[in-house]
Chains A and B, each alone.
Chain A
Amino acid sequence: MLSALLVMAALAIVLGAVLGFAAIKFHVEGNPLVDKIDAILPQTQCGQCSFPGCKPYATAIAAGEADINRCPPGGVEGIQKLADLLGVDFKPFGGDTAAPKPKSVAIIDESTCIGCTLCIQACPVDAIVGAAKQMHTIIAAECTGCELCVAPCPVDCISMQVIEEKISNWKWKYPVYSLVTAQ
């Protein structure tokens, strides 16, 4: 009886020491997976995924709290990359989640703008220039088309304009394969 207790105690002590040593030696700072997911996300900080930005969304994916199909700017390609990284099945944009829209740019109707600066505060990429009581305008090249500036405008002078495909901005499309979702 006593020898059995001693044997089990000795086993427990040795294993405990090994695991304690390993816990210090292989200590992981934070979650490195978050950075890998964050690198795939497009960094538009648009909030269409219902998270405040790309990093919080990446954190939520890593914690298993969010689906991978909530990032419209990343597109189908982004979902595919996330699925590959995380080893989960591809998931198309669902009905309740935001879906990608055609590329568009915000336009401020400059004659209606009252210079309230609310849209400047909303813009995540600082694509709006202007000052209080001065007319604002949008730097089209910087605008990611995230629509965050549309809601705060008190006079509704911001509209989204779809960027038409012209010879000057046309480029080769990525090859598109129709993806089958697993049952």
Chain B
Amino acid sequence: MTEYMLILISAVFVNNVVMVKILGLCPFMGVSKKLEAAIGMGAATTFVLTLGSGSSYLINKYLLGPDLSYLTTLSFIVVIAGIVQFTEMVVQKTSPPLYQILGIYLPLITTNCAVLGVPLLNVQLKHNFMESLIFGFGNALGFTMVMVLFAGMRERMEGADVPAIFKGSAIAMVTAGLMSLSFMGFSGLIK
């Protein structure tokens, strides 16, 4: 149990997928303009990432095995694409406004490097099924948390008196950098 908690906390804070590993920056910058969109994106990514981690573990363990390990990246991408497509259908059916807000970023979850990176890290770190699931879920949770925090800051920045040359994406990049720095503070948490 302690081990699972460690994996979870490490994935959410210490090795945060966006802020420390610098993965999945496309939706981080792209969908963080509005809080609702960021929450929706976080939820969709959480679903995809958790399901993707679990299923890619099963595929790697039972379908590929050691002989076909050169197929990992290819088969993971196929599975992730399938899950994303499925998620897109569900979102379109259940929440049309969210579908409209996420727009192109919803199918682009497929190419979110965090979503492929986490299953590959699972293989590399030799996680078992439960650990893979928790690692995937933890990373997705970290992603969602950072998205929501960043979206909140960007919404406030809309009203802030930013110097003209820093307006828009520039100040967002600076903020992201400062956020990443502050996440480095967690690195002493787990040894």
Given contacts A31-B96, A32-B96, are A22 and B86 in contact (CB under 8 A)? yes
In the complex, A139 has a CB within 8 A of chain B:
no
In the complex, B75 has a CB within 8 A of chain A:
yes
Chain B interface, >50% SS class:
helix
For A, the interface residue count at a CB cutoff of 8 angstroms equals 27
In the complex, A148 has a CB within 8 A of chain B:
no
In the complex, A162 has a CB within 8 A of chain B:
no
Cα distance A107–B89 when bound, in Å? 52
Interface residues on B, range: 20 to 34
In the complex, B71 has a CB within 8 A of chain A:
yes
Stretch at the interface among B16-24, B77-85, B129-137: B77-85
In the complex, A7 has a CB within 8 A of chain B:
yes
Cα distance A62–B68 when bound, in Å? 46
Chain B hits for A36, CB < 8 A: 96-97
Contact among A28, A86, A89 with B92 in the assembled complex (CB-CB below 8 Å): A28
Q: Could you list some 24 contacts between A and B, CB below 8 A?
A: A4-B68, A4-B71, A7-B68, A8-B75, A11-B63, A11-B78, A15-B78, A15-B79, A18-B86, A19-B82, A19-B85, A19-B89, A22-B86, A22-B89, A22-B90, A26-B93, A28-B92, A33-B99, A33-B100, A62-B100, A86-B100, A86-B101, A87-B100, A183-B168
